[in-house]
Structure 1
Amino acid sequence: MSESQTLTEQMQLVKQRLADVLDKAKKLGADAAEASMSKQQGLSVATRFGEVETVEFTNDGALGITVYQQGRKGSASTADLSDSALEQAVQAAIEIAKYTSVDPCSGLADAELLEYQPADLDLYHPHAFTSEQAIDIAKETEMTALQLDTRLTNSDGANFASYEGFKVYGNTHGQLVSYPSSRHSLSCMLIASEGDEMQRDYAYSVSRDYQQLWSPKRVGELAAKETLNRLGTRKIATQKVPVLFRADIANGLFGHLIAAISGGNLYRKSSFLLDALGEEVFPSHLNVVERPHILKGLASSSFDSEGVKTADMEIINDGVLQNFLLTSYSARKLQRQTNGHAGGIHNWQISANGGDFDAMLKQLGTGLLVTELMGQGVNIVNGDYSRGAAGFWVENGGIAYPVAEVTIAGNLKDMFKGLVSTGSDFDERGSIRTGSVLIEQMQVSGQ
């Protein structure tokens, strides 16, 4: 594909090539086939102390083809969209299928579940940047931050990125769908020093629409504030206390829920929520809903990676688990029906009952506010949770001082059940929209 072609022209070309490759697969003996291609183009720049560190231009994408033949599956991919390359890819996939085991659960999603006419979800907001303009945005962000306080003595730099692209998916059920999208991001990481102490922190913004991206001034000022606030850390004694996960950290708790109710872990019996459908896994005040069709949503899509239609869905209703997250394969393994989760979730929204951030601090009273987590000490099989943490010690509803070098531990089942409240201080920068989360009690290991 030529770089001079518009994205729309490229997308139409890829749709035609997908139709060709599916036709080739049928002619070469496949019982069924599916193909997809995601393409991304754009630029990313990084600056440090006003100097350019990197300028990267991206223009990539590969077409993947999967064939099904008598219960066997074979896959291949190619970045070359010429007739000969596509034919070679199809032949390779068919050849691979000959050597795979028969699996009655593999195959295309059921035709009646597919999305044949996807809605326009307003995900495409391209904004043309020269490398000079992108560099200026990154420089302004970092320089704004560094000029705010003499204790900001070093920097890991600022990064600005702007991408546009598209996704095309088709299969031999007659589905051939696509959509364009864009994504812009801006971040800054700083280092503050006071005496012998050094602390690092950052701030970032991400949006489909550049006009809704935070300004360089806002990102720089927030990065400076976050970093300076970490100076003066103390250690705390080992104890059991209430723990408040700030909104930008709290989404990770629901990320563990996603893993625990995903079909792959369920059919492998590798989840602590194995038989929890219809059970109360959170307190009755908590609700989690999925809204795939939010305009400009960072995780919005009319169809999943298998072409299955997405729909509004209740995940947690009054604390009760309503749905697992299933692909066609995992659904068949579990003798259920897929619900459009091949490739991940689509805009989760967590209910709020605890007010804004200040109100959540008051409700915490005395305990630990977590603003950073480290390590991967989470066991989805049994729910055991142990991670390094940093944040702030809170006394009588007010932040007393920053803390570091602590470990927080518990079990996700207990943590979910002990979720006292969720805040209205929503973080909008990801696929999970949640406010701060207060857990009734956790083990905090310090001195």
Structure 2
Amino acid sequence: MAENAAAASGDDSLARLDRLAELAEDVIRRCRAAGASEVEVGASIDSGLNVGVRLGEVETVEHSRDRGFGVTVYFGKRKGSASTADLASDSIAKTIAQACAIAKYTEEDPYTGLADPARLASEFPDLDLWHPWCVDAAEAIRLGIAIEGAGRAYAGITNSEGASVQAGESLSVLATSAGFVGRERGTRHMLSCALIAGDEAGMQRDYWYESVRAAQDFGDPAALGRKAAERTLARLGARELSTRESPVLFAPEVARGLVGHLVSAVSGGALYRKSSFLVDHAGKSILPAFVDIVEKPRLTRAHASGNFDAEGVATAESALVRGGVLERYVLGSYSARKLGLESTGNAGGIHNLIVKTGDDDFAAMLRKLGTGLLVTEVMGQGVSIVTGDYSRGASGFWVEKGAIAYPVEGVTIASNLRDMFRGIAAIGADVDPRSHILTGSILLERMTIAGS
């Protein structure tokens, strides 16, 4: 049905995928003829439109079309990789030669090689990821001006960093000498707006954006501009805090970063290098018993859906955390072999991580916070996956008796991820849908707030 619909609409994406697959299979044959024992080929075509406007005027109009082609060859346990952005015959021939030359001079690695053939994907259901947006530059400019104009109309908005409209399409093929050929096509579209407000106390900036697979899933564009304005104006009159300890509520768009730190700490590279504070924690309790986190790779229209990972291993729904217990790690084939385990289908990253939420909306989460800090933005790189130490600049709002009292800036929040994970008091139902990590706001029992 997908092929018939594509043909009826004049969409040639499936035909282009077929051509990429034919090229990849031909390259595999050529690499095998050159003596490679195993071969992996990845090919992609990305295209899109990016329009930026500022103060009601066009700033940028960019049409892009990028191609990528990568070859990885194995001569026994010696590995070589090379890539090119040019799909011309001569360029591909040189890429093959470079990959083979590199492999012949690298040291053997007993853990390297293709994924287990028995684990490769063999079923490829349609995940509803392909929704081209036929927006031209003129329409995108009008849309960007309307978004920005809705925000600039607010009294107190004094300047703008602009609005952007992006439409993108991606086609990719992964093929291996084990006989695997996987095709993927997906679209991703984005609207965003960043505004500036000022008063006698100074200037503040904030923004908002939406990211979707299908343009029809965008909300009212003017509402996006209004939300950017409201967030910006809410920052006016921001104060510093004195140093203290208090409960901290991470807004959903920030809370997903906490979950991301957990993923990093249980990912293969950090584990086999012994550079994670969660080494040897599989089967152990790391979060409160009410916390479940499940990976769902085959959700329709979701941000990180896929039938196979970056090695062709089939994806499947799987718990990462259940009842607060770490059920497994996040592994590709190489890291799994290093650890004496099996791939979890996560070469290239995690797919649609769903954090179990409670029933409380954002207002109810503020009431649970009581008196403490609501964090809406974090800054800096002060997170150590090795030790779990966490120290980042933050801004947001001070909350008293469950209601926002005033905006806050210029503070540092600090703790240790081990304590932060165990100190989760509640997870809200206010899920931010714009990411592959889907979580509501997260309330922590206590953190140190370093201020003036």
Task: Determine the structure 2 residue equivalent to 1:365.
Answer: 370
Per-residue CA distance 1:380-400 (angstroms, 9 max, x = gap): 000000000000000001100
Letter in 1 for 2:269: G
Task: Determine the structure 2 residue equivalent to 1:76.
Answer: 82
Letter in 1 for 2:285: E
Per-residue CA distance 1:226-248 (angstroms, 9 max, x = gap): 00100111121110000000011
Per the TM alignment, residue 212 of structure 1 is displaced from its structure 2 partner at its CA by 0.2
Equivalent in 128, 131, 142 of residue 136 of structure 1: 142
Structure 2: segments with no counterpart, 5+ residues: 1-9
SS at match of 1:182: strand
Task: Determine the structure 1 residue equivalent to 2:42.
Answer: 36
Per the TM alignment, residue 144 of structure 1 is displaced from its structure 2 partner at its CA by 0.8
How far, CA to CA, are the matches of 1:391 and 1:87 in structure 2? 54
TM-score (norm 1): 0.98
Please tell me whether the aligned partners of residues 67 and 86 of structure 2 are also in contact (alpha carbons under 8 angstroms): no
1:5-84 aligned at under 5 Å gives the runs 6-84=12-90
TM-score (norm 2): 0.96
How far, CA to CA, are the matches of 1:64 and 1:317 in structure 2? 38
Pair 1:347 & 2:352 matched: yes
Per the TM alignment, residue 8 of structure 1 is displaced from its structure 2 partner at its CA by 2.6
1:99-248 aligned at under 5 Å gives the runs 99-149=105-155, 151-248=156-253
How far, CA to CA, are the matches of 2:163 and 2:261 in structure 1? 30
How far, CA to CA, are the matches of 1:86 and 1:190 in structure 2? 46
SS at match of 1:98: helix
Please tell me whether the aligned partners of residues 116 and 176 of structure 1 are also in contact (alpha carbons under 8 angstroms): no
Runs of 4+ in structure 1 off by over 3 angstroms are none
Please tell me whether the aligned partners of residues 423 and 437 of structure 1 are also in contact (alpha carbons under 8 angstroms): yes
Pair 1:307 & 2:308 matched: no
How far, CA to CA, are the matches of 1:25 and 1:412 in structure 2? 46
How far, CA to CA, are the matches of 2:380 and 2:194 in structure 1? 20
Letter in 2 for 1:315: L
Task: Provide the alpha-carbon RMSD of the alignment.
Answer: 1.1
How far, CA to CA, are the matches of 2:19 and 2:334 in structure 1? 30
How far, CA to CA, are the matches of 1:152 and 1:289 in structure 2? 41
Task: Determine the structure 1 residue equivalent to 2:6.
Answer: none
Please tell me whether the aligned partners of residues 285 and 353 of structure 1 are also in contact (alpha carbons under 8 angstroms): no
Please tell me whether the aligned partners of residues 392 and 412 of structure 2 are also in contact (alpha carbons under 8 angstroms): yes
How far, CA to CA, are the matches of 2:86 and 2:241 in structure 1? 58
Structure 1: segments with no counterpart, 5+ residues: none
Per-residue CA distance 1:73-100 (angstroms, 9 max, x = gap): 0011122323333222112111110111
Per the TM alignment, residue 413 of structure 1 is displaced from its structure 2 partner at its CA by 0.1
SS at match of 2:193: strand
How far, CA to CA, are the matches of 1:10 and 1:190 in structure 2? 40
Task: Determine the structure 1 residue equivalent to 2:331.
Answer: 326
Pair 1:416 & 2:417 matched: no
Identity among equivalent positions (%) equals 46
How far, CA to CA, are the matches of 2:219 and 2:313 in structure 1? 34
Pair 1:289 & 2:319 matched: no
